[in-house]
Amino acid sequence: MIEKKKVIIDCDTGSDDSVALVLAMLRPEFEILGITTVNGNRCVEYTTENTLRVVEFMGNKWPVFKGCGLPYVSTMLGRRPGYPRRDGSGPANNAGVHGDFIDQLPKATIKEQDKPAVVWLIETLMAQPDHSVTIIPLAPLTNIAHAVHIEPRIVDKVKEVMYMGGGYIIGNKSPVGEMNVWMDPDAAEVCMEAGFQNWTFVPLDATHDAYLTMDDAERIRAVGTKEAEFIADLTAQRIKGYSTWQKVKEDNAAPVHDPLTVAALIDESVLVDCVPAHCQVDCGGGAAYGQTIFDMPAINGRLDALPPNCRVALHADRIKYVNWIIDTLEQAKARS
Number of residues that bind ligand BDR (CB under 6 A): 13
Asked if 5 contacts 34 with a C-beta cutoff of 8 angstroms, the reply is no
| Residue 131 among the catalytic residues | no
- The burial class, CB within 10 Å (0-12 / 13-18 / 19+), for 186 is middle
Q: Is 317 in the site for Ca ion (CB under 5 A)?
A: no
Taking CB under 5 A as the rule, does residue 21 contact Ca ion?
Answer: no
**Residue span 126-145 as binding mask against ligand BDR, x where in contact by CB under 6 A, dash where not:** ------------xx------
Q: Applying CB under 5 A, does 49 fall inside the site for Ca ion?
A: no
Amino acid at 207: T
Among 37, 48, 124, 180, binds ligand BDR (CB under 6 A): 180
Q: What residue 178 binds from ligand BDR, Ca ion, none (CB within 5 to 8 A, per partner kind)?
A: ligand BDR
| 10-39: contacts with ligand BDR (CB under 6 A) | 14, 16-17
CB 290 within 8 A of CB 166: no
Question: Applying CB under 6 A, does 257 fall inside the site for ligand BDR?
Answer: yes
Kindly list the strands in the beta sheet with 310-316, ordered across the sheet, starting from the edge strand earlier in the chain: 64-66, 30-37, 5-11, 133-137, 158-164, 199-202, 310-316, 271-281, 292-295
The distance of closest approach from Cβ of residue 42 to ligand BDR in the complex, given in angstroms and rounded to an integer, is 10
Query: Could you say whether residue 254 binds Ca ion (CB under 5 A)?
Result: no
Which member of 7, 8, 17, 325 binds Ca ion (CB under 5 A)? 17
- CB atoms under 10 Å from CB of 73, counted, come to 16
Q: How far is the CB of 258 from ligand BDR (least distance, A)?
A: 5
Q: Min. distance of Cβ 143 from Ca ion in angstroms?
A: 13
Task: Report the 3 state secondary structure along 89-118.
Answer: CCCCHHHHCCCCCCCCCCCCCCCCCCCCHH
184 touching ligand BDR, by CB under 6 A: no
Q: Between helices 318-335 and 15-26, what is the axis angle to 10°? A: 50
Residues identified as active-site:
257
